[in-house]
Amino acid sequence: MRTTRGRFRLRSAALAAALGAGLLLAPLPAQQAVAASTLTNTGFEADGTGTATPSGWSTYSAAGQNAASFTEAGGRSGGHRLSHWSSSAYKVETYQYLSGLADGTYTLSAWVRSGGGQNAAYLALRNCGSAEQRTDLPVTSSSWIRVVTSVKVVGGGCTVSINSDANAGNWLNVDDLAFTAGSTGLGVKGVDLSALKKNEDFGAAYKNASGAAGDPVALLKGAGANYGRLKVWVNPADGYNTKAQVLATAKRIKAQGMKLLVDFHYSDIWADPGAQTKPAAWAGHSYAQLKTDVYNHTYDVLNALKAQGTTADMVQIGNEINTGMLWPEGSTSNWTQLAGLLKSGVSAAKAVSSSTQIALHLANGGDNALYRTWFDNATAQGVSYDVIALSFYGYWHGALSSLQANLDDVSARYGKKVMVAETAYPFRLDSKDAHENIIDLPSELVSGYPASSAGQSAWLRDVMNVVEAVPNGRGLGVVYWEPAWTAVTGNGWDPTDPSSGNAWENQALFDYDSRLLPAANWFAHR
């Protein structure tokens, strides 16, 4: 999460020094006459509609635009909310200063909505004796979303701040804030590098944001990524994403100090909700033999990784298995058999390394009914796992509020950590190669998130914000899907067709000149 120095309030010693040096050229907001250690009027109910400076809060605008901050009817839980809006461009801050705090780490949570379009719209914890922490507001016009930010308090004081630097007509709503002891953060800030080896073999090169050549794994690690994800196919036509390829790329991931997530597809080709095709070598096998196949294949790959000193930190038993895996035997129409296959994979992974985390991964991350049905069945069948992993692509899977509702529910219902194992967003719509991109029309985009570098950055930022806000620290993290799969002749989507093209290069984290895009810097998220 980005940090920046406090802008409006200085501690008394610093203020005196600045005044003495003649450094303060603009007035500071007046400090609250009485500052308390507890956040007050958190739901903006004390004053009713139309109050520019709600009880307990202060308002500041260098341009005298305090009226852009006001209370109005329409709260998330009560009768009122705080809003920022003006018919002309405006900058305004609504803040509350807390004092008498015990030193330690604190978290601010708030429910927010925003129409988007601002130059900046965020919550901040500043002047707390440590670096400022902030969380930007996602674009969510109709549904409320909970966001969080945490800070280390040193010296007993902290300012809770709601900020807008907005264009005419831009708006935000804030309600139901809480400031409590505790911290937030994400343990997984990952990148799926499954296509990297083939991309490089066919001539791909990578650069940093300034255009200097670099190792893409190192560039992504330098931007803040701490996990690498690699898929495993059994016997693909092009010879990539096999055990040998996984071993080679795993060495590069671990050499950068990153952790490793291994994603078993149990197929020779893409496995997803619409296709869970058995590997050709397993095609005629009985169900009993398939369980052995799953165990042996999983054990073989993971044991080889362990033997070379790159033990997997997390393993997915199947990829986007909404409808099961290894059809027809492992379809969700026969949960007993699907559970048997899953248990076989779990047993193999734990036999190699008992500390390896087990993830079960579905797509359609905004579909709570799907997740309840699926994981209720997995629970009833006694399938053991550690993490619920979701794919969430906003142009397919619904609103960020639906993702949040699902994450909150399933993490509590099953007592598990949750993570978004796949997400991505376009930075442009046109194709670099001759192959049509999966997302290539303005009508396919998520409202409020343009196909631009800024739109891609905002999408990754906001998905991370939603995962970070999962209660009780159960939001584990986010993995960006195929950030290094750029348009290179020979590395198309179809492993059986060398002439196939790439439909994804406009969602990579390297641009059409192979430079690292700004969105990657959000891996440095708190």
User: Can you say how many angstroms the Cα of residue 232 is from the centroid of all Cα atoms in its chain?
Assistant: 23
Among the listed residues 93, 320, 329, 482, the single catalytic one is: 320
In the residue annotation, 200 being an active-site residue is answered as no
Residues with Cβ within 8 Å of 524's Cβ and at least 6 positions away in sequence, in order, are: 1, 189, 223, 224
Q: Is residue 57 within 8 Å of residue 145, measured between CB atoms? A: no
DSSP assignments along 33-102, one per residue: SS-BSS---TTS-SS-TT-SS-TT-EEE-TTS-GGGEEEEE--SSSSEEEEEE-SS-EEEEEEEEE-SPP
In the residue annotation, 320 being an active-site residue is answered as yes
Q: For residues 134 and 5, what is the distance between their CA atoms, to the nearest angstrom?
A: 11
CA nearest neighbour of 232 among 242, 223, 222: 242
CA nearest neighbour of 419 among 456, 350, 460, 470: 470
Rounded to 5 degrees, what are φ and ψ at 90? -150, 155
Q: Is residue 484 within 8 Å of residue 516, measured between CB atoms? A: no
Is residue 47 packed enough to be buried (19+ CB in 10 Å), middle (13-18) or exposed (0-12)? Answer: middle
Token representation of residue 427: 């930075």
Token representation of residue 523: 């891996």
Rounded to 5 degrees, what are φ and ψ at 312? -65, 135
Helix (H) or strand (E) holding 204: none
Among the listed residues 93, 132, 329, 422, the single catalytic one is: 422
CA distance readout (Å), 134 to 26, 161, 162, 369: 23, 9, 10, 33
Count, residues in the chain = 526
Give the active site residues. 320, 422
